[in-house]
Amino acid sequence: MHYRRSLPVLLSPLALLLCLAFPGTQAKSQQRNSPDFKIENNRILFQTAAVQLQIGAPAIELLSGKQIVKLIPPEQTAASAEPSETPLGPAESKTWKWQDPKGFGYTRTVTRLTERQGFTVKMTFTNHTQSAVRLHTFILGEKTPEGLRGGGSPQDWVLSSLSAKGRASDLGKDGRLGSRDILTLFTEHGAKGLVMGPAGPGESEIVYNAVISRGRAAVLIVSDMNDIVVDPGETRRSEELLVLAEPYESALTHLFSWMAVTHGARTARGPIFGWCSWYSLWKNVCERTTEDALGSLVANRDRLPMQVFQIDDGWQKAYGDWDADPKKFPSGMKPIADKISAAGMIPGLWLTMVTTATNGAHPDGNPDKNLDPTHPATREFITKTLKKRYADGFRYFKLDFNNPRLNDRYNQKMTKLQVRRDMFKLYREAIGEDSYLCACVGSLDRGAIGFADSVRIGTDSGPRWLPRYSGCCMADLFNEVGAMALSNGILFAADPDVAFTVPEKYNAAPPLPNAVRVWHGWVGLLGGVMMTSDDFHQAPWNTDSAIRMMEILNPPAPEKGRAFDGQTDLSHPQFGFVASRPWGNFISVQLLNLKEESAKVSLKGLPLAKIGPKFHVWSFWDRKYLGVADESLQMKDVPAGGGPLLRLTEIPKNPSQPVLIGSDLHIGMGSAEIKEIAAGANTLRIVLTDAGARSGSLFFHSAKPLSTSQSTGMNVKSVASDSPEVWRVSIANRQHGKPQTIELKVGN
């Protein structure tokens, strides 16, 4: 492919350096926002108007006995350059090659993106000796004193990990921060900053070790090769590191999009709506309780058209003995799978293929509780187990505790990431392309990308009020799901774990009902997997209000929710999405106060420019219009663990035009259930989809009175004024599968 290049005209010294390092970048180097970029003494210097990054020299680490031997290349030598193509467009690549006297060869390639502020780094290692060696790590960049920093006050910049139980530190505090795969540095709620992450193709984990001192972070960046065996004449490559200096949402979206290409992301099946047994039945699940729960869903199928009915942990004899417990399921698993299918749902089953018990299988003879999926006997065991359950009729597999035994793995030529990717590939091959695979991993696990349809992106949604990092609690959920939300629909369908339909059930811990209700908003606004374990055949879940709580989640809204803080606040106090419609833009946002006492919650970080300087505010849970507001709006006295779910609606240019300001039919508040709104001279026509609850209300702001003209596919019970210029249109008996329209008369 050929690229058009501009002729150099009066190049500055900086531009000349850029041209020498990357031929063909003259035009870009003179652009107003073009970053400074140069390579000196094997160090990469990258600077934009907002951030500065210095990546140190590369190195190779080999394991010799118990000692680490480091191969350090000489200072920068001649390099070859060529144009290249990336998932983010054209680029220019430059490769340095070194030959070690011992007989090892290695390279470092730096690829500078032409159309974005970013670059990649990758390495190779070749064993030219006569003996096999063990490759410990590729050091993509040593620590340097300059490291990573932002402009202005260090305390305004937050360095953060997106790993499970992600942690963060502002650059004003000296200390250390470790991370795997992704490291972010942002300020101003994500408006400025930088992300570093693995671009692919899934060779190994990238590990960051950051030391924060004097307002900057010196970062060691390693592609961890886990002491793999490299045979004579063999070449191995590192993971490719991508660095992007863009606003948070853009940077993470582009990183995940690149990763989706290199890892073969599997997104066609999308998220699912369903039920699992865990949080209501725990390990007490049995044939009778399963049939009771199934019966309640069948009885409410018109309101809860769930796609999946999944039996969780407890059905089996033991971990590693994946036959049905005869005391719990005396008929075996096939009959219950047949009943689920007959009810119109996909039969689902929970298993863990690489975790076993003392009385479970140990195919390779090792008594450890974690199995080695690279061992032929273990691979045969996994395949036979999954195929047996497939033969029973199960087509949804929730695979948990995916922690293989790695240190003494049978295949010593595979990195730990490659072992995990090969493990998930084996799962997929065993259950077939027609099965839905949920990888219950709780974080960004690149092992599952390309093989799993959905991935758990956070901890268990345990309804517990505990400090962050306690595990399986609300604070950890908001931390982890908020960090990983942007992966949803790009790498897989994000699974946040279950929602709970009766928050009041958890009133023993005062802040907990508030947090459980907020969590329901998060599950709905995320637009990923939507599951519950609430057993609708018994109290307190066998009520109309509990069933309606699940109705309003289905199906996911077209938009995907995200945290609006840009990974600068791990409690993620604003979560939601922006919806753009021909009849007006709006923001659906769940606010959150994770403090132990009541507090104010603001709109800081929200992209309010999308809806204008002033906007209507409507509150979902109490169905109240809060008036017109601007960016200074603060919700006062938000209770501990709680927060309102708001719709912020653009004010139309014609103030007399009626505008939809709220809907309680769906938790997206108009994003999923409204297909079209068309205004005539004295009429307003609303076309609905099948999304959401069968009964509820639409809310309009109108200076002129509204009244019913006609409707189809539903009953309009009333059109009444809630407050001056606010009109509630109450709807009942929506007929799913049929056209649903409302014609309103505007004016007297």
Map 462-482 to HEC letters: CCCCCCCCCCCCHHHHHHHHH
pLDDT tens string 204-251: 999 999 999 999 999 999 999 999 999 999 999 999 999 999 999 999
Question: DSSP assignment of 566-632, as one string?
Answer: TTS-TT-SEEEEEE--TT--EEEEEE---SSS-EEEE-TT--GGGT-SSEEEEETTTTEEEEEE-TT
Residues paired with residue 239 on neighbouring β-strands, in sequence order: none
3-state secondary structure of 560: coil
Phi, psi (degrees; rounded to nearest 5) at 28? -65, -35
d(CA 91, CA 118): 10
Write down the pLDDT at residue 163.
78
Residue type, 144: T
**∠ at Cα 424 (336, 354), nearest 5°?**
70
Burial class (CB in 10 A: 0-12, 13-18, 19+), 90: middle
Residue 632: Cβ within 10 Å count: 7
Q: Give the pTM.
A: 0.94
- Positive or negative torsion for Cα 548, 498, 670, 300: negative
- Give, as one character, the DSSP assignment of residue 390: H
Write down the pLDDT at residue 748.
87
Residue 155: Cβ within 10 Å count: 12
454-456 vs 436-439, strand pairing mode: parallel
d(CA 43, CA 54): 7
Cα-based distances in Å from 607 to 225, 307, 578, 646, 703: 41, 34, 8, 14, 27
Q: Could you tell me the two tokens for 186?
A: 């942002």
Residue type, 586: F
- Across 551-584, b (16+ Cβ under 10 Å) vs e yields bbbbbbbebbbbbbbbbbbbebbbbbbbbeeebb
Write down the pLDDT at residue 703.
94
Write down the pLDDT at residue 34.
67
CB 68 within 8 A of CB 62: yes
Write down the pLDDT at residue 226.
98
Reported as half-sphere exposure (CB side, CA atoms, 13 A), residue 504 has a value of: 6
Write down the pLDDT at residue 35.
79
In the sheet with 586-591, reading across from the earlier edge strand, the strands are 562-563, 574-579, 586-591, 645-650, 615-619, 624-629
Write down the pLDDT at residue 33.
52
Query: Domains of the chain (ranges plus CATH)?
Result: 13-261 (2.70.98), 273-551 (3.20.20.70), 565-624+645-746 (no CATH)
pLDDT tens string 19-29: 333 333 333 33
d(CA 666, CA 422): 40
d(CA 39, CA 251): 23
Nearest partner of 301 among 336, 278, 277, 274, judged by Cα: 274
Write down the pLDDT at residue 8.
31
Write down the pLDDT at residue 63.
97
CB 21 within 8 A of CB 35: no
Helix axes 474-484, 512-526, angle to 10 degrees: 20
Cis-peptide into 724, omega within 30 deg: no
d(CA 37, CA 744): 60
3-state secondary structure of 684: strand
CB 707 within 8 A of CB 654: no
Write down the pLDDT at residue 508.
85
Nearest partner of 670 among 701, 703, 640, 647, judged by Cα: 647
**Which stretches of 510-561 are DSSP H helices?**
512-526, 544-551
Write down the pLDDT at residue 77.
76
Q: Could you tell me the two tokens for 624?
A: 């109240």
Our measurement of the distance from residue 649's CA atom to the centroid of its chain's CA atoms, rounded to an integer in Å, reads: 26
Tell me the average confidence (pLDDT) per consecutive run of 10 residues in the chain, 748 residues long: 30 34 36 74 95 97 96 86 96 96 96 97 98 98 96 97 87 96 97 97 97 97 98 98 98 98 98 97 96 97 97 98 98 98 98 97 96 98 98 98 96 98 98 98 94 97 93 95 97 98 93 97 98 97 97 96 97 97 97 96 96 98 97 96 98 92 98 96 96 98 94 96 95 95 95
Residue 322: Cβ within 10 Å count: 23
Burial class (CB in 10 A: 0-12, 13-18, 19+), 131: exposed
Return the residue matching tokens 């938790």. Answer: 667
